[in-house]
Amino acid sequence: MILVDEFRDRDVALRIARVIGAEARPERSYAFMEFCGGHTHAIFRYAIEDLLPANIRMVHGPGCPVCVLPIGRIDAAIALAGQPGVTLCTYGDVLRVPGSHRRSLLKAKAEGADIRVVYSPMDAVKLAQASPDRQVVFLAVGFETTTPPTAVVVLEAERLGLANFSVFCNHVLTPPAIAAILDSPEAQGGALRLDGIIGPAHVSAVTGSRAFARFPRDYGQPVVITGFEPLDVLQAILMLVRQANAGRGEIENQFTRGVTEDGNRHAQGLMARVFESRETFAWRGLGQLPASGIRLRPEFAAWDAERRFSLPEPEAEPPTACRCGAILRGLARPADCRLFGTGCTPDNPIGACMVSSEGACAAEWAYGRARHRGKETA
C-alpha cells in the first residue's frame, strides 16, 4: 500500500536497528516514552523491542483516549443512554470500557438502551436528522485528532438548527498529560527517568509540532514527532539516541509527510470557535489534570449534552488492585499487576489498559506473552 507498505520493510528495519545498536553507548541506558497508544501497538506488533539493544527501554505512556476516560464519565454516558428518548452514538472503542460495578455501554445496550456505534460523528448527525423523535447524543472522546471532526458536526448541527442532537464532550488534550508525567513526583524524584519522548503524529497533524516544543524548552526532553509504521518508530528512536548522545533536547519531526510546525490552522480555528478549556478534567490513572479537557462554549449550549441533560455525580472510585494508574504513568509494567491475565483479560477487562487494543496491558496480552514464553516444541 502506497505510503504505508514502504514503511514496513523488514530488511531496512533490521539495518536501522543495527545502526541504533552501533550508536547507543554501551556505558549508559536509554528510556524513551512513547506517549501514544498507536506507537505502543506498533512497538508490540512489529516486535520492535526485540530489535533494540538491551540498554534501550520503551516506556508506554497514557496516549490512548479510550483508556484514560474516567469511570465517572462512562457512568454518566450509561445514565444518559438510559434516559427515555435518548439514542447514544459513539465510537466502537468505547463500548467495552468498564464503568463502576464493571458496567459498560455494551451491557447497557443489552439491557435495552439505544446505543449505536458510528464510524464518523457525521453519521450521528445524519441519524438525528433521520430520527426527529429521538434525542441523539454523540459521546465524543479522543485527543486533538478526533476533536476537529466534533467541532465540524457541532457547527453543522447549528447550521441545520438541529434541535435533537447534542454532544457529550470528553475530548482531552495531549500536552497536559505529557506535562503531568514529567511533573510527577516520580519523574522529578528520579524513579521515572526519561531520555526522550516519541510524539504523536496524527495529533500533531492538527496541532503542529509546535504544540510539543515546550518539552524540550522547559524540561530539556528531546521530542520526535513520529509516524506509526515500524520504520517511522525505528528512525525516531535513532533520532532520540542521537539527541541524547549529543546532550541535545530539541523537537524534531520524523513524520514530515503529514506534520508541519504549524499544523492545520483551519482545524485549530474551528476547535477554538466551538470549544473552551475546562479548569480541570479527570484522566483515568493520572487523576485531575488542570486545563487538560475541553467543553463546548456557552454559545453552543443548545448542543451540549452536559447542559441539556442532568447527569449523575461521579461515584468515588472503589479501591482496586488494578495498577492501570501506575502503568499509564510508565511506573509499572502490565506484568507487575497481579490482576493481569487473571482477573483482567480483554474479554473481561477491569482496567482501562486492557480495554483498547492500544492499551499497554492489551498489547502485552496479545504480543508480550508470545515473546516471553519462548518457542514451542514440535
Partner 1 sequence: MCLGLPMIVVELRPGDVALAEYEGVRKEVSVALLAGDVAVGDFVLVHVGFALSKIDPERARETLALLAEIAGLEAR
Partner 2 sequence: MSNRLPPGPAIDWDHGRIDLSHGSGGRAMAQLIDELFVAAFDNPILGQMNDQAQFDAAPGRMVMTTDSYVISPMVFPGGDIGSLAVHGTINDVAMAGAVPMYLSSAFILEEGLPLADLRRVVASMAAASREAGVPIVTGDTKVVEKGKGDGIFINTTGIGRVPPGIAIGGDRARPGDAILVNGTIGDHGMAVLSQRESLGFETTLKSDSAALHGLVARMIAAVPGIACLRDPTRGGLATTLNELATQSGVGMVLDEAAIPIRAEVRAACELLGLDALYSANEGKLIAICPGECAADLLAAMRSHPLGAQSAIVGRVVADADRLVVMETAFGGRRIVDWLAGIQLPRIC
Strand partners, 340: 344
C-alpha closest to that of 237 among 2, 55, 9, 41 = 55
DSSP state of 319: P
Distance CA 177, CA 370 (A): 31
Q: Which does 209 bind (CB under 5 to 8 A by kind): partner 2, partner 1, none?
A: none
Number of residues near partner 2 (by CB under 8 A): 47
Question: Which lies closer to partner 1 via its Cβ, residue 99 or residue 148?
Answer: 148
12 touches partner 1 by CB under 8 A: yes
Cell numbers 453552543 correspond to 300
Distance CA 133, CA 268 (A): 34
Amino acid at 280: T
Cell of 317: 472510585
**Contact string (CB under 8 A) for partner 2, positions 222-261, x = contact:** --------x-------------------------------
**Contact string (CB under 8 A) for partner 1, positions 241-280, x = contact:** -------------x-xxxx---xx-xx--x----------
Alpha helices in 185-294 (DSSP H): 185-189, 201-207, 214-219, 230-246, 265-274
Residues 218-237 that bind partner 1 (CB under 8 A): 228, 231, 235
Question: Which lies closer to partner 1 via its Cβ, residue 123 or residue 186?
Answer: 123
Residues 292-331 that bind partner 2 (CB under 8 A): none
Question: Which lies closer to partner 2 via its Cβ, residue 39 or residue 329?
Answer: 39
- The contacts of residue 127 (CB under 8 Å, 6+ apart) are 87, 89, 116, 118, 134, 136
Q: Which does 217 bind (CB under 5 to 8 A by kind): partner 2, partner 1, none?
A: none
1 touches partner 1 by CB under 8 A: yes
Q: How many Cα atoms occupy the beta-carbon half-sphere of 173 within 13 Å?
A: 25
Question: Which lies closer to partner 2 via its Cβ, residue 141 or residue 153?
Answer: 141
DSSP state of 345: B
Number of residues near partner 1 (by CB under 8 A): 53
Cell numbers 533490521 correspond to 14
Interface with partner 2 by CB under 8 A: which residues?
Answer: 1, 4, 8, 10, 13, 37-38, 44-47, 50-51, 64-66, 91-93, 95-96, 106, 116-119, 123, 141-142, 146, 230, 345-347, 356-358, 365-367, 369-371, 373, 376-378
